[in-house]
């Protein structure tokens, strides 16, 4: 079989054979996500024709394990992708992706919902840590080897979030007004690299609208740009409940609604039966999902839970973290701390816990964890007094609520 699933004649022949044996209901089932709380996203298997489940793992900074009976619900917490970008080292991005792919597969997953290439543009963007910063060129350089690392395993990488998904405020409904030059010079280059050079299998359509139209039903973006200009041969899933229509989304170029059948499922079946969605459109949606499933080995190598090389992956994570440290100022050579230091003050509400991942899709239960305070105490030794003060209240989910901030504990 060709090493490139996008151009393999054998892959296309196997896709055609599967498609010919599928019923209309099975085709609709393949493009309609299912709800399974052991996975962030999920699509049920079609066992009659040998199509395995699509078992998907969040997120960009580690393969999350929702099912706590698998590996204790834990995997390696990798440094945030923004820290990986700070290394400026594509070879480390390849190793980063290899850990993601290996741990996803070993914990029962065959789709990794990463990497993210959302350009950092809003200073208060809550998900900025999940991507590679504000520079499109750096994003493009780092995303390709990470995809190669993930897809070296029978695991599909998912490039997200397509597109112009850059702020937390009203991120489910915001209408991003963007001109063609900005779209092509700022937002699209990382996606183009991921597709052309990375061979990424899947993409995720974002919640937001672009120039008045929701991305998941924007034919200009999903078909004309993604498939036409960038020659993407994989498939597009919606973000979690980011599908807003039935026929409009299917005809625009969306391949799968996630997570459950809000607009697809029985509604899509009826739309095909009634002629609102052409049967060939549905067939092409199925082809796009099956092509990387077969080409990347998901059909021939079903997922199976196995051991995670935790110590090796912990060393990789630490090396990336060390290379990603950016020291802005080192007045009078204070760092690294010398033998003359006898007292250290550690100030910050998160210093005495492991804030290794963000909330939402970036959340992960780490296999190894050392808080900054513990790390400093271990490094300083018994002869140095280390004192901690929170300094401020920690952030919590309540901080995302509208209205004035809560009265501080002080």
Cite the active site residues: 239
Q: Which residue is listed with tokens 């170029």?
A: 253
**In sequence order, which residues have a C-beta less than 8 Å from that of residue 119 and are 6 or more positions away?**
131, 134, 136, 139, 166, 186, 187, 190
Instruction: Give the chain's radius of gyration (CA, Å).
Output: 23
Distance from C-alpha of 379 to C-alpha of 244, rounded to nearest angstrom: 53
Distance from C-alpha of 53 to C-alpha of 50, rounded to nearest angstrom: 10
Q: Which residues pair with 388 in a beta bridge?
A: 346
Q: Which residue is listed with tokens 């090396």?
A: 319
Comparing CA positions, the residue from 401, 363, 322 lying closest to residue 130 is 363
Token digits of residue 369: 């964890």
φ/ψ (deg, to 5) at 387 = -115, 140
**In sequence order, which residues have a C-beta less than 8 Å from that of residue 161 and are 6 or more positions away?**
116, 118, 204, 205, 206, 207, 239
Token digits of residue 230: 């960038």
The count of other CB atoms within 10 Å of the CB of residue 408 is: 7
φ/ψ (deg, to 5) at 16 = -60, -40
Distance from C-alpha of 82 to C-alpha of 128, rounded to nearest angstrom: 7
**In sequence order, which residues have a C-beta less than 8 Å from that of residue 15 and are 6 or more positions away?**
287, 290, 291, 294
């Amino acid at each position: 079989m060709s090493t490139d699933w996008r151009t393999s004649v054998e892959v296309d022949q196997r896709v055609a054979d599967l498609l010919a044996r599928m019923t209309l209901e099975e085709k609709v089932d393949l493009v309609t996500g299912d709800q399974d709380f052991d996975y962030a996203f999920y699509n049920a298997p079609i066992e009659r024709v040998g199509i395995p489940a699509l078992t998907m793992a969040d997120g960009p900074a580690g393969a999350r394990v929702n099912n706590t009976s698998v590996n204790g619900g834990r995997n390696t917490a990798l440094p945030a992708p923004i820290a990986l970008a700070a290394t400026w080292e594509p070879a480390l991005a390849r190793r980063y992706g290899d850990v993601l792919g290996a741990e996803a597969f070993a914990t029962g997953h065959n789709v990794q919902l990463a990497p993210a290439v959302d350009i950092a543009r809003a200073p208060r963007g809550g998900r900025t840590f999940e991507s590679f910063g504000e520079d499109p060129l750096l994003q493009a350089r780092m995303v390709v080897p990470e995809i190669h690392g993930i897809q070296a395993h029978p695991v599909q990488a998912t490039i997200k979030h397509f597109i112009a998904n850059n702020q937390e405020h009203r991120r489910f409904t915001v209408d991003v007004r963007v001109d063609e030059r900005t779209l092509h010079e700022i937002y699209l280059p990382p996606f183009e690299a991921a597709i052309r050079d990375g061979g990424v299998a899947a993409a995720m359509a974002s919640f937001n609208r672009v120039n008045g139209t929701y991305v998941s039903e924007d034919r200009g973006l999903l078909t004309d740009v993604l498939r036409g200009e960038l020659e993407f041969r994989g498939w597009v899933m919606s973000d979690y409940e980011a599908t807003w229509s039935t026929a409009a989304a299917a005809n625009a170029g969306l391949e799968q609604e996630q997570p459950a059948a809000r607009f697809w499922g029985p509604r899509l079946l009826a739309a095909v039966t009634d002629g609102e969605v052409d049967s060939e459109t549905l067939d092409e949606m199925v082809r796009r999902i099956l092509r990387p499933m077969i080409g990347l080995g998901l059909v021939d190598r079903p997922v199976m839970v196995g051991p995670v090389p935790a110590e090796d992956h912990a060393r990789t994570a630490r090396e990336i973290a060390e290379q990603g440290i950016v020291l802005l100022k080192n007045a009078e050579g204070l760092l690294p701390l010398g033998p003359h230091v006898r007292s250290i003050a550690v100030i910050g509400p998160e210093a005495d816990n492991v804030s290794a991942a963000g909330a939402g899709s970036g959340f992960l239960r780490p296999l190894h964890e050392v808080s900054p305070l513990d790390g400093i105490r271990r490094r300083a030794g018994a002869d140095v007094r280390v004192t901690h003060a929170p300094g401020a209240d920690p952030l919590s989910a309540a901080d995302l609520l509208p209205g004035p901030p809560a009265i501080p504990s002080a």
